[in-house]
Structure 1
Amino acid sequence: MNGKKILFVSSELVPYLPENEVSLMSYEAPRMVNSNGGQIRIFMPRFGNINERRHQLHEVIRLSGMNLVINDMDMPLIIKVASIPRERIQVYFIDNEEYFKRKATFTDEEGNLFPDNDERAIFFAKGVVETVKKLNWSPDIIHVHGWMAALLPLYLRNYYKDEPLFADSKIVTSIYGKDFEGELDSDISKKIIFDGISEESISSLKTPNYNNLLKVAVDFSDAVILATEKIPEDLANYISNLQKPVLPYVSLQEFEEAYGEFYRDKVLK
């Protein structure tokens, strides 16, 4: 991975949120690339239950101050950064008072999905791309983890298709076990179509559940990684019919060599 630039975009990341399959691999994969001479950037949402003082988050004024249009509304983009001390890895946080101030990640105290999770996902996808543009950093690989990052491949290949910074970037999506029950807002398709993205390209989102959201992600990815043993059957069958590279599940203890070879031999070939 020496010299290669890899952009990691994740819903969750340790040590900022509790450990689970997504948050742990979203940490381990960048750490592996970093230790093997690659250049990395990591992005995640700045959820309100992240302790800013403990983790020493601070706003980057030169990157903040832009407004993103979400469903015909101007939403201010705030960028914060922090470092994972023992790894010397910097993390960029996408923030907005309306979407991310609440003291929770995806659900309320009763376990119900937040009704604006669809808009939060759109905002996150656009916020990542606009910030990377400001950094003028052209990644060789963009690796997506977690369902709130799942709209990024769609937006890169459609809304930002003429952006030269990403012209040669390859997109990899990691698939994890079912992360939420129920569905996102039924108007998610209308909000995406508002951005000039065709209805045909998001036909899966007529039923905006977890599996269908990830189907859209893999449709616009160049390669797929099965990051858990327990992939929902419907999603696993869909991925098995794709004509693109798929890395089968490997354990955390064995992933470094497998991911490195997959990046090098299948994604960047």
Structure 2
Amino acid sequence: MNGKKILFVSSELVPYLPENEVSLMSYETPRMVNSKGGQIRIFMPRYGNINERRHQLHEVIRLSGMNLVINDMDMPLIIKVASIPRERIQVYFIDNDEYFKRKSTFTDENGNLYADNDQRAIFFAKGVVETVKKLNWSPDIIHVHGWLASLLPLYLKKFYADEPLFGDSKIVTSVYGKAFDGELDKDMVNKIAFDGVEEESIAPLVNPNYNNLLKVAVDFSDAVILASEEIPEDLKNHISSLEKPVLPYVSLQEFEEAYSNFYDTEVLK
């Protein structure tokens, strides 16, 4: 890992959000790479339930100010940063008042998925790529965690296919157990098609449920990590049908060597 550049893109991360499987591995994996001499960048959404004062978030003016087009609407991109003090790790936050100001992550106070979660996912994917372009930082590996980040592989391979900064980057998606019931907006497939992505690439998103979001993510990834013991059978079968490297589940206590070897011998080979 020494000297390798790894971009981590996650929908959740401790200590900014409560601990769960996604938020914990989204922290532990970059911490491991950092300790082995790798260079890292971490991106996550700036949800309204993240305490900016406690975590000392501040806006980076030189990276903010761009508008991203989401379903024919101009949406301002705001970039904030903070540091995880004990690890000296910097985290970049993708922000927009319309999408992320509300005081919870994915659902309203009644537990219903936000109606615009699909647009939030598109905005997050585009926001990460545009910010990394401004940083002019070319990652060797891009490692995706969590379903709200799951459109990133698709956008990198389709919408940003001609972007030279990512020409040699390898994409790894960590697949976790089922994260939500129900579906995102049925019109999601048309909003992605608006960006010039052909519909056959995103056919599963005609039914935009958790399994189908992750199917599209792994279809456009170079390698897959099974990050939960229990993966939905339908999703597991789809991953098994792909001819790409797959790392079976390993526990938190054993992941460091397994992930590091997987990066070195399967992803970067």
**TM-score over 0.5 for the pair:** yes
What is the letter of the counterpart of residue 244 of structure 1? K
Q: Report 1:226-237 matches (<5 A).
A: 226-237=226-237
Structure 2 residue aligned with 1:117: 117
Structure 2 residue aligned with 1:23: 23
Distance 2:207 2:126 in 1: 22
What is the letter of the counterpart of residue 210 of structure 1? Y
Percent identity of equivalent pairs: 85
Structure 1 unaligned runs (5+)?
none
Structure 2 residue aligned with 1:190: 190
Q: Report 1:1-269 matches (<5 A).
A: 1-269=1-269
1:53 counterpart SS class: helix
What's the offset of the Cα at 1:8?
Answer: 0.1
What's the offset of the Cα at 1:118?
Answer: 0.1
Distance 2:228 2:104 in 1: 24
Distance 1:103 1:136 in 2: 32
Distance 2:185 2:228 in 1: 27
Distance 1:50 1:232 in 2: 30
Distance 2:84 2:47 in 1: 17
For residues 85-112 of structure 1, the C-alpha deviation after alignment (integer angstroms, 9 at most, x for no partner) is 0000000000000000000000001100
What's the offset of the Cα at 1:176?
Answer: 0.2
What's the offset of the Cα at 1:134?
Answer: 0.1
2:186 counterpart SS class: coil
1:234 counterpart SS class: helix
Q: Count the aligned residue pairs.
A: 269
TM-score calculated relative to the size of structure 2: 1.00
What is the letter of the counterpart of residue 71 of structure 1? N
Distance 1:265 1:202 in 2: 30
1:91 counterpart SS class: strand
What is the letter of the counterpart of residue 201 of structure 2? S
Flag as ranges the 4+ runs of structure 1 deviating above 3 A.
none
What's the offset of the Cα at 1:46?
Answer: 0.1
What is the letter of the counterpart of residue 45 of structure 1? P
What's the offset of the Cα at 1:252?
Answer: 0.2
Distance 1:46 1:79 in 2: 9
What's the offset of the Cα at 1:10?
Answer: 0.1
What is the letter of the counterpart of residue 238 of structure 1? H
What is the letter of the counterpart of residue 120 of structure 2? R
Distance 2:86 2:218 in 1: 33
Distance 2:227 2:215 in 1: 15
What's the offset of the Cα at 1:82?
Answer: 0.1
What's the offset of the Cα at 1:180?
Answer: 0.5
2:6 counterpart SS class: strand
What's the offset of the Cα at 1:163?
Answer: 0.2
What's the offset of the Cα at 1:256?
Answer: 0.2
What is the letter of the counterpart of residue 57 of structure 2? L
Distance 1:113 1:168 in 2: 36
Distance 1:65 1:230 in 2: 41
For residues 7-38 of structure 1, the C-alpha deviation after alignment (integer angstroms, 9 at most, x for no partner) is 00000000000000000000000000000000
Distance 1:135 1:264 in 2: 25
What's the offset of the Cα at 1:137?
Answer: 0.1
